[in-house]
Amino acid sequence: MIDYIKGEIAELTPAFVVIDTGGVGYCIHISLPTYSVLNTNPKAKLYVYEAIREDAHLLFGFLNQSERQLFLLLISVSGIGANTARMIMSSYSAQEIQDMIATSNVTALNAIKGIGTKTAQRIIIDLKDKILKIAGLDSGNSVIPSVNNQVRDEAVSALVMLGFVASASQKTVEQIQKSEPNLRVEQLIKLALKMM
């Protein structure tokens, strides 16, 4: 399986990008947020999902592994195909979609073209626990705002690189964020180091 493709952007549209790697042009289907990021770059590195069907061999590209993970979760829901998942990911950022699922926001999911109420409910029923688990929360807790998630993830990654255990790092960082939610990454890491 292809994990990622890196190379020069030969062609770019809101629906797909052609990346030239070693003289081979790979046509990769992308979401609108991915298009916006690639629009300003001459080169790209996209994490790939291969959809192999009888009539086609399609590549779907993502800016990072967490986006690809969300896509894989979406297509695991009965009735959600790769194109529908791409439509969902074109309508909102990955973080917004995770927040909608975690907070059971049927109305917001229902507003996406092609997603009816039943499909929105199925997405929430099938994925809520998985999304909360990825975010390190249980269903009883409220969802930490998106900005805090990014800061938290960066701080935890830095602590893991310094040799601390991921689960302990995450608990410590979340504990600090509860009392001081507006800290920058470097401040969060310094405080976490004192506590670990």
Q: Are residues 129 and 109 in the same domain?
A: yes
Which residue range is the domain that position 159 belongs to? 146-195
Residue located via tokens 């909608």? 100
Sign of CA dihedral 68, 21, 30, 122: negative
Query: What pLDDT, on a 0 to 100 scale, did the predictor assign at position 160?
Result: 81
Whether the pLDDT of residue 41 is over 60: the answer is yes
Do 115 and 81 fall into the same domain? yes
CATH number at residue 22: 2.40.50.140
What confidence category does residue 139 fall into, taking pLDDT thresholds of 50, 70 and 90? very low
Count of structural domains within the chain: 3
- Quick one: CA torsion of 175, 181, 182, 184, rounded to 10 degrees? 30
The pLDDT of residue 93 is 86
- Type of residue found at 158: A
The pLDDT mean for the chain works out to 86
- Asked if residue 187 belongs to a domain, the reply is yes
In angstroms, the CA 136 to CA 148 distance is 13
Tokens of 52: 């192999």
DSSP 105: -
CATH of the domain at 169: 1.10.8.10
Higher pLDDT, 141 or 60: 60
In this prediction, residue 95 carries a pLDDT of: 86
Average pLDDT of span 185-189: 84
- What six digits make up the tokens of 77? 């829901």
Task: Give Cα separations from 188 to 61, 84, 195 (angstroms).
Answer: 32, 38, 11
Same domain, 126 and 70: yes
CA–CA distance, 117 with 120 (Å, rounded to integer): 5
Q: Write down the pLDDT at residue 138.
A: 45
- Label residue 131 by pLDDT band (50, 70, 90): confident
Q: For residue 19, give the 3-state DSSP assignment.
A: strand
Looking at mean pLDDT, say which of 7-11, 153-157, 168-172 comes out highest: 7-11
- Angle of helix 146-161 versus helix 166-179 axis, rounded to 10: 140
Name the band, by pLDDT with cuts 50, 70 and 90, for residue 163. confident
Question: 12-28 b/e with 16+ CB inside 10 Å = b?
Answer: beeebbebeeeeeebeb
Q: How many residues does the chain have?
A: 196
pTM for the whole structure: 0.67
